[in-house]
Amino acid sequence: MATVERRIGIRELKDRLSECVRDVKNGATIVVTKHGRRVARLVPDIGSLDERLAALKSAGAILWSGRRLGRAMPVVPLRRGRQTIADIVSENRE
């Protein structure tokens, strides 16, 4: 079943927030725009984590075997022991 997206400007959303939340709760999807550009999407909460993962998997948004993920390695190698993100950003600005 294809869901029709309703578009609403951010100012109108502010004025009609309760109505929009009620519509989303009833299954609607609302795309929020600012100056005609899409900035957000309001979608119904479909429940538990397992239900959300199943929905993403069936939509083709994720590929996941269901196995627990291993520990990720840091993208930026740490220097001089532990660094904060602020330290790394500051170094890259120099």
Helix (H) or strand (E) holding 29: strand 29-34
Write the DSSP symbol of residue 1: -
Q: Where do the structural domains in the chain lie, given as residue ranges?
A: 1-62
Find tokens 């220097």 and name the residue: 79
CA 45 to each of CA 19, 24, 55, 63, 86: distance values in angstroms, whole numbers, following the listed order: 16, 9, 11, 21, 34
What pLDDT score was predicted for residue 3? 59
34-63 pLDDT, tens digit per residue, is 999 999 999 888 788 888 888 788 888 888
2-28 pLDDT, tens digit per residue, is 556 899 999 999 999 999 999 998 888
Architecture of domain 1-62: 3-Layer(aba) Sandwich (3.40)
